[in-house]
Structure 1
Amino acid sequence: MSENDSGHGGVLVAVVAGQPVTVLEQAARLADDLDVPLVCANVDPNRYLVSSYVDGTVVALPYDPDLPETEDEPFDSELEAHIRAVLAPLGLRFSLEQLAGDPSWALARLAEELDARYIVVGTREAGVRGSLREFFNGSVAVHLAHRQHRPVIVVPLAPVDGSGRLPWEDPPV
């Protein structure tokens, strides 16, 4: 779903519903500084990619056979409205891409297709739920950093100062 450009040579940013706006803002700032387009990609990890088309349409099926099957995977309309509201005042070239499957694999594949200069992701959500999800699924940023050749920029979402403990660290003994 292109806004102004195909995204070739641009900045790829992973966007998810409920994500703090900081990730999108930092990716937009980088794209603007480099004068390249921004590609906002949302990945549905509950579906797997069947095929994708030049116009950005993605055909995906659910892993869970009890979920309804759909022919194409639309970009979340609320997330799209949020992205447009954040980026509209900047006058930045951007496009929206809906992906399916493993987030790190899907983002790396799209980055390769676009010949993206950078991939921008946010840190994981703080708390027990985020720690469990990362334990079972792994960090998208870590997977990207080890499985493809582009620089990965990780935007901190809830930084902890040097004296603070991270949510997944063991308490002092």
Structure 2
Amino acid sequence: METPGDFEQGGAGQWPDGPLVLGVPWEFEEQLVRTAAGLAAILGAHLICAFVDPASYLTEWEPAGVLDATSLDPAPNVEAEYPSSQVLSGLERILGPPGGAWSFRVLNGDVAHALGRLAQSADAAALIVGGQRPGRIARMGRLLEGSVGVSLTRLQARPVLIVPHAGR
């Protein structure tokens, strides 16, 4: 008979091997990154910080195995082409330079699908994303685009950790 508090039943008491994937928005809170980095350190896992570029999409109608990123803007705009450099600078201020403990990836396409693809290809143990942003503009965005956290829980079976915003 199983006793209360017998946690061995959930995966033989083992956390799955693999890195943690952190979805990093353009403007992120330090708490999100520190929470993910702390969990990665406790688990002895590599942290993959992933930014999904909003100015591009994947041409998923191409033949299988070919996922080419294409800009939504027909005229190249060098300043707006890679907001990821700002994201990387913010991450480096908190985590130091990328290396053994963490790495940075830039993805294209729908945020939830892109993070799910990365988690699958990296055989990630879990995904981490920020909770819903407060405010009217954020609420309007969720109405139009949906919640990344909710979409992730529907798209794949990996655990999804949603870190609430500091103001909540």
**The TM-score by the shorter chain falls in which range?**
0.7 to 0.9
2:153 is the alignment partner of 1:149: no
Residues 6-36 of structure 1, C-alpha deviations (whole Å, 9 max, x = no match) = xx81110011222111111110011000001
* Residue of structure 1 in register with 2:120 after alignment: 112
Give secondary structure in 1 for the equivalent of 2:45: coil
What TM-score, normalized by structure 1, do the two folds share? 0.73
Seen in structure 2, the aligned counterparts of structure 1 residues 93 and 50 have a Cα distance that, compared at 3 Å, is: farther
Q: Distance in 2 between matches of 1:78 and 1:26?
A: 20
Provide Cα deviations, 1:46-105, integer angstroms capped at 9, x if missing partner.
311259xxxxxx95212344x4288xx75722221211121129x861110000110000
The residue correspondences of 1:115-126 to structure 2 (distance < 5 A) are: 115-126=123-134
Q: Distance in 1 between matches of 2:87 and 2:157?
A: 28
Q: List alignment gaps of at least 5 residues for structure 1.
A: 1-7, 52-57, 161-173
User: Which residue, 19, 43, 50 being the options, matches 1:41?
Assistant: 50
State the match for 1:17 in structure 2: 26
Which consecutive residues of structure 2, in runs of 5 or more, have no partner in the other structure?
1-16, 61-66
Give the total of aligned pairs.
Answer: 143
> How large is the Cα RMSD of the aligned pairs?
2.6
Structure 1 stretch 107-116 or stretch 119-128: which is displaced more?
A: 119-128
Alignment match, 2:135:
127
CA displacement 1:97-146 (0-9 Å, x = unmatched)? 00011000000000000001110000122111000000110000000001
TM-score, normalized by length of structure 2? 0.75
Q: 1:139 aligns with which of 136, 147, 160?
A: 147
Q: What is the match of residue 54 of structure 1?
A: none
Percent identity, please: 35
Higher radius of gyration, 1 or 2: 2
Select which of 14, 36, 41 maps to 1:27.
Answer: 36
Structure 1 runs (4+) greater than 4 angstroms displaced: none
